[in-house]
């Protein structure tokens, strides 16, 4: 069975029971386009995105060490700042479109109530593995409840069935399941992570979806050469690339440069995906600005009620 990204499966599953998702996505898409047209940089994001990692384990080996969790945060900080060593593998022809998201991540140091925390929760479970159905995201279904998804990036680490390495919820979905899920053996760098998915790139890829990036080839269930990721500087390509392609690797009519297979939003091995583009960065910044404005903010102070006008404007402008 070919590996497929759980995020798309999850999207079509959620569209069926959460009609707001399509509407919220359309609103965000409009703002993303308007923002690009105005040449706006978009909000760069908070100074630091607080992360909570929920480890769910049946076997003790899946109870990943704090070090392995820390290694994943390190990978995010490299990949989302363009400081990863292997960025030098970008073929020269693509170098000028390498984008730097300029984002920082850190394990949360306070929980939603404001108490000091490690940013890691651990729960021993009896479920052998989960499907792409969000059951890992609630205590009542055998998982762990999220921390306020508006303020924290929630990452659940668990076993997943069906060859799925991970899945994300796109912006605009139900708040109670917002975040990303990563297979225990594809989380972090080293430790129990298994080659060729042992460099933490599954999380980089899923956080890309969480910030509204599509796969390079688009999201159609049956690939075509015209489906698009709504990003101009990623060439259209037929479908996913796997393993370790060598440059150039063309599809559709994108010769001579070929597919941007070394991008985080393709399906290649961890050691072969090394970059985001400028267009993808603009899209992520728009998602942060318009759809995830409270990430990294302190809890709302109930006394701090904004002026009615400002408040009305902001609410209208924000897809859930």
The residues of the shown chain that bind Zn ion, judged by CB under 5 A, are 5, 7
Question: Is residue 5 a contact point for ligand ARG (CB under 6 A)?
Answer: yes
- Within 63-103, residue ranges assigned H as helices are 66-79
- Closer residue to Zn ion (CB): 35 or 266: 266
Q: 24, 71, 203, 234: which one contacts Ca ion (CB under 5 A)? A: 234
Which partner, ligand ARG, Zn ion, Ca ion, none, binds residue 234 by CB below 5 to 8 Å per kind?
Ca ion
Question: Is residue 269 a contact point for ligand ARG (CB under 6 A)?
Answer: yes
Say how far residue 13 (Cα) sits from the centre of its chain.
18
- Taking the complex as a whole, how short is the minimal distance between the CB of residue 254 and ligand ARG, in angstroms? 21
Nearest partner of 274 among 103, 82, 74, judged by Cα: 82
DSSP 152: S
Question: Is residue 231 a contact point for Ca ion (CB under 5 A)?
Answer: yes
Instruction: Report whether 57 contacts 122 (CB < 8 A).
Output: yes
- Closer residue to ligand ARG (CB): 7 or 212: 7
Question: Is residue 187 a contact point for ligand ARG (CB under 6 A)?
Answer: no
Question: Is residue 202 a contact point for ligand ARG (CB under 6 A)?
Answer: yes
Sign (positive/negative) of CA torsion 291, 297, 299, 302? negative
Q: Which of 139, 206, 219, 289 is catalytic?
A: 206
Which two structure tokens, joined as six digits, stand for 252? Answer: 């559709």
Which partner, ligand ARG, Zn ion, Ca ion, none, binds residue 166 by CB below 5 to 8 Å per kind?
ligand ARG
Based on DSSP, count helices (H) and strands (E) in the chain, helices before strands.
6, 8
Question: Is residue 189 a contact point for ligand ARG (CB under 6 A)?
Answer: no
Transcribe 225-264 into DSSP letters. Answer: SS---S-TTS---SS---S---S-B--TT-TTTB--TTBT
Within 13 A of 29's CA, how many CA atoms are on the CB side?
A: 12
Q: 165, 213, 231, 282: which one contacts ligand ARG (CB under 6 A)? A: 165
Question: Is residue 254 a contact point for ligand ARG (CB under 6 A)?
Answer: no
Stretch of 2-10, 136-144, 148-156, 250-258 contacting ligand ARG, by CB under 6 A: 2-10
Peptide bond into 248 cis (omega under 30): yes
Whether 67 is catalytic: no
**Contact positions toward ligand ARG, by CB under 6 A?**
3, 5-7, 164-167, 197, 201-202, 205, 267-270, 273
**What are the catalytic residues?**
206
């Amino acid at each position: 069975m070919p590996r497929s990204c759980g995020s798309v499966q999850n999207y079509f599953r959620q569209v069926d029971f959460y009609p707001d998702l399509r509407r919220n996505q359309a609103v965000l898409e409009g703002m993303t386009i308007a923002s690009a047209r105005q040449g706006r940089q978009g909000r760069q994001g908070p100074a630091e995105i607080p992360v909570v990692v929920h480890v769910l384990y049946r076997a003790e080996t899946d109870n990943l060490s704090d070090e392995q969790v820390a290694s994943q945060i390190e990978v995010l900080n490299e990949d989302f700042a363009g400081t990863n060593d292997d960025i030098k593998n970008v073929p020269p022809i693509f170098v000028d479109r390498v984008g730097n998201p300029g984002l920082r991540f850190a394990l949360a140091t306070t929980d939603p109530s404001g108490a000091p925390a490690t940013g890691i929760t651990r729960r021993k479970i009896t479920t052998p593995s989960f499907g792409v159905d969000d059951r890992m995201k609630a205590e009542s279904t055998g998982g762990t409840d999220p921390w306020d998804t508006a303020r924290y990036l929630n990452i659940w680490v668990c076993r997943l069935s069906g060859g799925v390495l991970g899945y994300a919820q796109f912006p605009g979905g139900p708040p109670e399941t917002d975040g990303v899920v990563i297979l225990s053996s594809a989380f972090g760098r080293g430790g129990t992570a298994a080659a060729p998915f042992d460099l933490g790139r599954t999380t980089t890829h899923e956080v890309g979806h969480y910030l509204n990036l599509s796969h390079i080839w688009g999201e159609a269930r049956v690939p075509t050469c015209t489906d698009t990721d709504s990003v101009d500087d990623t060439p259209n390509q037929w479908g996913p690339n796997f393993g370790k392609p060598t440059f150039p690797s063309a599809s559709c009519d994108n010769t001579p440069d070929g597919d941007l297979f070394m991008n985080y939003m393709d399906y290649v091995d961890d050691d072969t995906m090394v970059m985001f583009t400028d267009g993808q960065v603009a899209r992520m910044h728009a998602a942060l600005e318009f759809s995830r404005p409270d990430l990294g903010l302190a809890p709302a102070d109930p006394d701090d009620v904004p002026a009615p006008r400002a408040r009305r404007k902001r609410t209208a402008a924000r897809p859930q």
